[in-house]
Chains A and B, each alone.
Chain A
């Protein structure tokens, strides 16, 4: 998935040659990044599956209307993530977001599998706490942090997905990180679902 900012996008070239076979390559190359991003921005495992599938479907329908030259020139990863975020914003806009349930942000079978090692379980617990904190960030900061550190995008791609200059993207990311650190510091009990604010801690 290592893509330099300037070289040709291998997947885009495949898509331009054969839309259906290229789509399989597109899916294979980017499904994990799209799903991880979807999971962190919409919180529920099932919603993340739906959102990821919807984004790929939208992408395919868009590609069906593009000419070969336009397809070959695409930077497929930021392009797909832009589609994913647009699809998510449309969903949020049409259906006012219900109460978010961070506990659902895991595969349905994970709880009953029972074979996870202690280390896995601990990592899992850490992820859950962090997910709860991430959820408290304003959307722009959360999305920026997720793109930069969960999806592991370079800042130029984060900027491309957010549709802003790199400097702005960078500041969303660093503000988001700072806020996360503050929230972590303010968290007295690790299993407390609602981290306290600074004022509450003083009292």
Chain B
């Protein structure tokens, strides 16, 4: 009995349908290699957005890293995701969509706070821990930054030690320092001030106290600039914390 003669079998065969075209995109990642501010980077994205960015010696090595972390296949992309090239050139994630599934809530908070730090500025590790809602979890915050799936797009290089030293980085400390200098961050000034015991700068014209890396701190003229070792000391002198850098 063939389906030609049996309407039931013909009906069953007609129930076979083509799979929706977008299905592969929900399973596999797509990779592309693009120029970054410090050499080429490999970028993997899913149907939800960019999920992973790393340097690698080859596409195979990158696929291996991606597979180990996400357990998904990785296929070549036809073109880089929208906005990626601009984001890497300007240091602003802008309209790049990110796929940050799989992060712990704390790591997600750490990265969300990191994403708010503008180009050319830095914040200390203690700040990021507080912004993420766990002021004492400085080490955990540093671990979350070290595991950042999308460095450069979420600028974890802008989190530095309180003494102005660059600290660790997923691409190595020298590259972190080079990136920060490229962005115009005042690393040397922060270091010199920290060496002299100054972590915060206040202005007697605005009555505001900032991190020494804040763009507002950098605008204070020497005649009106006051240095402080602690926020408490600045508070006692009548300065209120800057709303831009939110010093802690």
Contacts and interface: CB of A to CB of B under 8 A. Distances in A.
Contact of B12 (A39, A123, A130): A130
B15 A130 contact: yes
B205 interface: no
Contacts of B12: 130, 145-146, 149-150
Interface string A13-33: 000000111011001000111
Nearest to B3: A149
Interface in A41-59: 49, 52-53, 56-57
Contacts of A19: 67, 73
Contacts of A116: none
B190 interface: no
B23 A52 contact: yes
A36 B20 CA distance: 10
A53 B67 contact: no
Contacts, number: 88
Contacts of B75: 20-21, 23-24
Contacts of B73: 19-20, 23-24, 60
Interface in B12-45: 12-20, 23-24, 26-28
Interface stretch (A158-166, A177-185, A186-194): A177-185
Contacts of A39: 15, 17
User: What range describes how many residues of B lie at the interface?
Assistant: 20 to 34
A64 B68 CA distance: 9
Nearest to B1: A177
B223 interface: no
A53 B27 CA distance: 6
B58 to A, nearest CB: 13
Given A49-B23, A53-B27, A149-B13, 8 more contacts: A23-B73, A27-B24, A49-B26, A60-B27, A60-B73, A127-B14, A149-B9, A180-B8
11 contacts: A20-B63, A20-B74, A23-B75, A52-B19, A57-B27, A126-B14, A130-B12, A146-B12, A150-B15, A151-B16, A181-B8
Interface of B: 3, 8-9, 11-20, 23-24, 26-28, 63, 67, 71-75
